[in-house]
Chain A
Amino acid sequence: MTARQSPLPMTVLSGFLGSGKTTLVNRLLRDAAGQRILILVNDFGDIAIDEDLIEAEDGEMLSLANGCACCSMGSDLFEAFDKALSFSPPPDFLLIEASGVAEPDKIANFAKAEPDLVLNSIVTIVDALNFDDTISDPHVGSVHQHQIEAADIVLLSKTDLISPEEIAALKQRLQKFSACDTIVEMSSAGSYNGLVFGAIHPRDDDEVSGGKIVEPHTHADVFQSWSYRLDNEIPLSELQNLIRQLPPNVIRFKGIFPCKEDGNMYEIHRVGKRTDVQQLQRQQNPENRDSRFVAIGIKHPNFDSQMKVIQDQICSLAG
């Protein structure tokens, strides 16, 4: 499907200087796999995109061979968002790489307020090696703490440079700051697109009433996904309760379903601890009123059985 999702889903990528935002941006672009991602970078025009990805360069705009684009957003958020929303052809995802001292929730507010945008997630990278220095810095420590508190997903970078004990201790400290309990260690391999964009869609090829677990493509992949489709209407409030209690290794969950209470189509989206529900504005094809669910989680031996439990619960909700 090439038609743009409307409104445009926006992810805010936050993190202090040197935490690895640009490295992640490069990986996201490389792994776009047909998704058209528009990235607005801050940190003063320094678009450090790998040369081999670039197809064309025009002033502040880099076009990539895979249909993605990268653009410097300057210091004026008004202009940046105006540019993103008038971008042609319209992208599938928008990622804002916030400056090292930006407050990501303030940027996320644009997506909450603007009808043509929808907030996908706030992802904050924490530099595991330099965390202590940054968090105790008298000028920027509180700024970084705020970035962590605002995050739906915290990514830990440079964990290969510290010991497993140090990682565990750091995670404990972060749990205290963070409103979210989704803390993911980054590895040098595997795709992070699913995690950052939730670029997972309820699939048409799933059998009705059949669940499906997608095993990691390679051993390096750190994520697994699950999808499920059934023919029934679902009671919204009970589904919300169920989704709030997902196990912590399930990072994203998304469902599109006809609601039992009012018959309308709804989308439910959970990332980290945040759950958003919205009624779909588009008139759905009346033939296409089945319920579809997808999830993405950190690779875990019990993922399969965990999701089987969820699946049975959804099935019993549908009654």
Chain B
Amino acid sequence: MSLVTVFKAKKIITMDPACPTATHVAVKEGKILSVGTASDMDGWGDFQLDETFADKVIMPGMVEGHSHLMAGGIWDYTYVGYQDRVDPDGKFWPGVKTIEDVIARLKEVEGTLKPDQALVAWGFDPIFLEGPRMVKTDLDEVSKTRPIAVMHSNFHLMTVSSSALKMANYVADMGIDGIALGDDGMPNGELQEMAAMFPIMRRLGVNWREIGRARESVKAFGRVCNRVGVTSATDLINELSDEDVTAMTAVTGADEYPIRLHSMLNGLTQTPDETRARALELREKSTDKFILGGVKIITDGSIQGFTARIRWPGHYNGAPNGIWNIAPAQLNDLVDTLNAAGIQMHIHTNGDEAIEVALEALEAAKVKNNRPDVRHVLQHCQLADRAHFRKMKRLDVLANLFANHIYYFGDKHAELTVGPDRARRMDACQSAIDMGVPFTIHSDAPVTPMAPLFTAWCAVNRLTESGKTLGEYEKISVAEALYAVTLGAAYTLQADHFIGSIEIGKWADFAVLEDDPEAVDPAALKDVGVWGTVLGGRKFQIQ
């Protein structure tokens, strides 16, 4: 049997300007041996021709630069979101459009549970539902005895049944922030923020971080990626204990695991020196499919939650400024320590004040230690203005822009959080291009669903959920968006030398599509079908 496989396709998009498209790609030992026409393959001797993709389009395996393992494990719970979604096993979950839909779905699942099991759901979003807000009595219709908890899509709110309220002794107005009251002055079932949700979650055994850690969750995450053409994805914050690293090395190392997982160490749980030591230690534990060594640093909160740090003139609706997760002075120390050691940082910055503080820290660190071997990334970077992009260029700092926000939260940003003008320059891909800042775009799954072609569609069309265009100038071309979700993302992971394009010597990681994304109407980019992927030359058809 031949050691070389040649895949024939209708079209191969390579991201290599010397050979932008091809029809054949040869693979040997998991790597790309040759790219071009049928005759280009001949010189390498015997090969096995694989014509599975003869009528399909191959592009580089897509790279999700900002996602979380929870995107897999969350499906242990029942989905009750407004938008249609597909679970890791391919089951289609139509969006729920009314409270009655939610109740009907919960009733259906309720019948399948064991007597002592709680019913937990996720993805609920009252913003999209007309009529009164869902309350405990709606959930009591599903069951009077079984505790029921419905997590909202933003993970900051939940609505629970009367029996769940009783577990935490929430049976009267106790004057506690976050326990919403009904007209009768009694808790109505809606709980806001972790402090109020904690007693229920603890008693129901719901722990979001555990959901991301479990072995099955890592596997389910792989299936989530495979369904949308992703062959490399980030697990963009993890405590990475020795125990977890061992387990994750085993799961990702299996031949049937469909992605390369890039896990980043949480930089806020140890001292800077300890974080540096651990990151360097982890880097050495990397394998071909489990890539370690980067550090995630969370500076502020979220714009839609009014917890991002925003500069003057502040929130459009007058809400107070957001929160810091790390004091700027501490950020300076941490950034300096990690930069000096050549450790890559992924710095979560949503608001423009957080972006500014992070850039100041990076500038000071880079003045002290020139490390051309490391490229740091501002994650989300949603409110960066053009001066910020110029500074990022000057400092060699990269951006990962949250393009999906334009669709999912764009209307809310224009109306409430930052107002129409600043909303128009959010997630400013064209400005990044203008200033020469390398960038990618992301989903932050499970905050929004992972699907890089959808994310690319957002960056190209900038349409909000209500159908408005948000920021005509910041639209980018389809070619630029496809580059962003492949080689652009690989560059932000310092992995552009082994993934992100179809070039000789790189891993044979491909996304296999039913249509040509370069040829379809840009408005239909999100609808291009995905057959599956190829990872290291092995085919992974969506199951």
Question: Given that A106-B193, A110-B195, A114-B198 are known contacts, is A79 also in contact with B209, CB under 8 Å in the complex?
Answer: yes
A110 vs B198: C-alpha distance in the bound complex, in angstroms? 7
Residue of A nearest to B320 (CB): A142
Question: Given that A74-B239, A75-B325, A140-B324 are known contacts, is A114 also in contact with B271, CB under 8 Å in the complex?
Answer: no
* Cβ contact within 8 Å between A44 and B353: no
* Cβ contact within 8 Å between A113 and B202: no
B208 within 8 A of A: yes
* Cβ contact within 8 Å between B327 and A45: no
A77 within 8 A of B: yes
Residue of A nearest to B237 (CB): A75
Chain B neighbourhood of A110, CB < 8 A: 194-195, 198
A139 within 8 A of B: yes
* Cβ contact within 8 Å between B269 and A75: yes
Interface residues of A in 96-125 (CB under 8 A from B): 99-101, 103, 105-107, 109-110, 112-115
* Cβ contact within 8 Å between A100 and B194: no
User: Interface size on A (CB < 8 Å)?
Assistant: 33
A77 vs B202: C-alpha distance in the bound complex, in angstroms? 12
Contact of A139 among B178, B198, B272, B328 (CB under 8 A): B328
Chain A neighbourhood of B268, CB < 8 A: 44, 75
A57 within 8 A of B: no
- As a 0/1 sequence over residues 190 to 202 of chain B, the CB contacts with chain A under 8 angstroms (1 = contact) are 0001111011011
* Cβ contact within 8 Å between A113 and B179: yes
A72 within 8 A of B: yes
* Cβ contact within 8 Å between A45 and B179: no
* Cβ contact within 8 Å between A17 and B323: no
Chain A neighbourhood of B270, CB < 8 A: 44-45
* Cβ contact within 8 Å between B309 and A113: no
B266 within 8 A of A: yes
Contact of B324 among A106, A112, A143 (CB under 8 A): A143
Q: How far is the CB of A248 from chain B (nearest CB, A)?
A: 24
Question: Given that A44-B269, A45-B270, A115-B199 are known contacts, is A78 also in contact with B194, CB under 8 Å in the complex?
Answer: yes
* Cβ contact within 8 Å between A113 and B269: no
Interface residues of B in 157-179 (CB under 8 A from A): 168-170, 174, 176-179
Interface residues of B in 235-272 (CB under 8 A from A): 239, 266, 268-272
Residue of B nearest to A137 (CB): B328
Q: How far is the CB of B330 from chain A (nearest CB, A)?
A: 7
Chain A neighbourhood of B271, CB < 8 A: 44-46
* Cβ contact within 8 Å between A72 and B269: yes
Q: Which of B195, B270, B353 has the most CB of A within 10 A?
A: B195
Q: How far is the CB of B269 from chain A (nearest CB, A)?
A: 4
A46 vs B326: C-alpha distance in the bound complex, in angstroms? 14
A81 within 8 A of B: yes
B494 within 8 A of A: no
User: Interface size on B (CB < 8 Å)?
Assistant: 41
B100 within 8 A of A: no
Residue of B nearest to A103 (CB): B323
Residue of A nearest to B269 (CB): A74
A44 vs B353: C-alpha distance in the bound complex, in angstroms? 22
Question: Given that A100-B330, A103-B323 are known contacts, is A109 also in contact with B353, CB under 8 Å in the complex?
Answer: no
Contact of A101 among B199, B209, B269, B327 (CB under 8 A): B327
- As a 0/1 sequence over residues 166 to 180 of chain A, the CB contacts with chain B under 8 angstroms (1 = contact) are 000000000000000
Q: How far is the CB of A261 from chain B (nearest CB, A)?
A: 18
A166 vs B31: C-alpha distance in the bound complex, in angstroms? 71
* Cβ contact within 8 Å between A44 and B330: yes
Interface residues of A in 13-71 (CB under 8 A from B): 16-17, 43-46
B39 within 8 A of A: no
A43 vs B333: C-alpha distance in the bound complex, in angstroms? 13
Interface residues of A in 139-186 (CB under 8 A from B): 139-140, 142-143
B441 within 8 A of A: no
Residue of A nearest to B195 (CB): A109
Q: How far is the CB of B274 from chain A (nearest CB, A)?
A: 6
Chain A neighbourhood of B266, CB < 8 A: 74-75
A76 within 8 A of B: yes
Contact of B199 among A44, A103, A114 (CB under 8 A): A114
A205 within 8 A of B: no
A262 within 8 A of B: no
Chain A neighbourhood of B52, CB < 8 A: none
* Cβ contact within 8 Å between B324 and A139: yes
Contact of A17 among B170, B320, B329, B357 (CB under 8 A): B329
A16 vs B329: C-alpha distance in the bound complex, in angstroms? 11
Q: How far is the CB of B219 from chain A (nearest CB, A)?
A: 23
A204 within 8 A of B: no
B207 within 8 A of A: yes
Residue of A nearest to B210 (CB): A79
Chain B neighbourhood of A142, CB < 8 A: 320-321
* Cβ contact within 8 Å between A45 and B269: yes
Residue of A nearest to B266 (CB): A75
Chain A neighbourhood of B174, CB < 8 A: 112
* Cβ contact within 8 Å between A113 and B198: yes
Interface residues of A in 78-95 (CB under 8 A from B): 78-79, 81-82, 85
Residue of B nearest to A101 (CB): B324
B292 within 8 A of A: no
Q: How far is the CB of B463 from chain A (nearest CB, A)?
A: 35
B298 within 8 A of A: yes
* Cβ contact within 8 Å between A113 and B196: yes
A75 vs B275: C-alpha distance in the bound complex, in angstroms? 14
A110 vs B194: C-alpha distance in the bound complex, in angstroms? 8
Chain A neighbourhood of B209, CB < 8 A: 76, 78-79
Chain A neighbourhood of B177, CB < 8 A: 105, 109, 112
Q: How far is the CB of A318 from chain B (nearest CB, A)?
A: 28
Chain A neighbourhood of B207, CB < 8 A: 78-79, 82
A82 vs B205: C-alpha distance in the bound complex, in angstroms? 10
Chain B neighbourhood of A101, CB < 8 A: 323-327
Chain B neighbourhood of A107, CB < 8 A: 195
Contact of A78 among B208, B321, B325 (CB under 8 A): B208
* Cβ contact within 8 Å between B309 and A139: yes
A79 vs B269: C-alpha distance in the bound complex, in angstroms? 12
Residue of A nearest to B356 (CB): A139
* Cβ contact within 8 Å between B328 and A112: no
Q: Which of B170, B179, B271 has the most CB of A within 10 A?
A: B271
Chain A neighbourhood of B326, CB < 8 A: 44, 99, 101
18 A/B residue pairs, CB under 8 Å, sorted by A? A17-B330, A44-B326, A45-B274, A72-B269, A74-B269, A75-B268, A75-B298, A77-B198, A101-B323, A109-B177, A110-B198, A112-B174, A112-B195, A113-B195, A113-B199, A114-B199, A140-B327, A142-B320
6 tightest CB-CB pairs across the interface, nearest first?
Answer: A109-B195, A101-B324, A45-B270, A74-B269, A110-B195, A115-B169
The interface of chain B, by Cβ under 8 A from chain A, is: 168-170, 174, 176-179, 193-196, 198-199, 201-202, 207-209, 239, 266, 268-272, 274, 298, 309, 320-321, 323-330, 353, 357
Given A43-B330, A44-B272, A107-B195, 7 new contacts (CB under 8 A)? A17-B329, A85-B202, A110-B195, A112-B195, A113-B195, A115-B199, A143-B324
The interface of chain A, by Cβ under 8 A from chain B, is: 16-17, 43-46, 72, 74-79, 81-82, 85, 99-101, 103, 105-107, 109-110, 112-115, 139-140, 142-143
